[in-house]
A and B are shown apart, each in its own frame.
Chain A
Amino acid sequence: EAGVTQFPSHSVIEKGQTVTLRCDPISGHDNLYWYRRVMGKEIKFLLHFVKESKQDESGMPNNRFLAERTGGTYSTLKVQPAELEDSGVYFCASSQLTGFSNIQYFGAGTRLSVL
């Protein structure tokens, strides 16, 4: 079974530019999550999709961040315009939509460096 895949693995951009991160969840997983780890701190929740709907976006830092999941398959996270403090590792995770198996499977992350 293919795991959660993220692209790109690393992105280096200048302040003010736009970057789009992509996440392909495990096939059949309706739950999709975005998390971020900044400067070696904790992994912080950004938002949660159930299929194509945003279930919880309470962790999104500000309106420069836009997440989409058209069709309920892969998801994108766009940062526009990027700021220095957006640097970090962005993780995507997915899980099945069941009551007793909420294990979240993580991707390897996208390391974003804003210069």
Chain B
Amino acid sequence: GENVEQHPSTLSVQEGDSAVIKCTYSDSASNYFPWYKQELGKRPQLIIDIRSNVGEKKDQRIAVTLNKTAKHFSLHITETQPEDSAVYFCAASKELTGGGNKLTFGTGTQLKVEL
């Protein structure tokens, strides 16, 4: 089955700096890669996703890059703010017959943005 590894497990940056979280996956058939942000006590929320037919996607301060050959993808957050502090999860999936997609998650990265 699919295996996703995520690094680092914790990341501390100064406000205004950039943060990068990296993930690798094992199943070359995976074609959908979402990133979720979970603030303390709240639900995981999708912040950005990318499909295998695209190499990069941006949404304001957030970007995701995908390297299918190397089977790794990364989350980039620029100009970090205190409200970016949360646990970030990467995930990988492939389409299932009949629709839907089981997500395989990484172990999460605790990002702390310090003032």
A, B co-complexed: yes
Interface residues of A (CB under 8 A from B): 3-4, 31, 33, 35, 40-45, 48, 50, 55-56, 59, 91, 95, 97-99, 102-109
- In angstroms, Cα B99 to Cα A41, docked, is 27
Nearest to A4 among chain B residues (CB) is B43
B103 within 8 A of partner (CB): yes
Complex Cα spacing A91 to B103, Å: 12
Residues of B within 8 Å of A102, CB to CB, are 32, 93, 95, 99-101
**Partner-A contacts on B (CB < 8 A):** 4, 6, 32, 34, 36, 41-46, 49, 89, 91, 93, 95-96, 98-108
**B104 touches which one: A45, A55, A56, A99 (CB < 8 A)?**
A45
- Most chain B CB within 10 A, of A3, A31, A99, is at A31
* A59 CA to B105 CA, complexed, in Å: 13
A3 surroundings in chain B (CB, below 8 A): 43
In the assembled complex, 26 residue pairs joining A and B whose CB atoms fall closer than 8 Å, in A order, are A31-B99, A33-B103, A42-B6, A42-B105, A42-B106, A43-B91, A43-B105, A43-B108, A45-B103, A45-B104, A48-B96, A48-B100, A48-B102, A50-B100, A56-B102, A59-B102, A97-B99, A98-B99, A99-B95, A102-B32, A102-B93, A102-B99, A102-B100, A102-B101, A104-B103, A107-B43
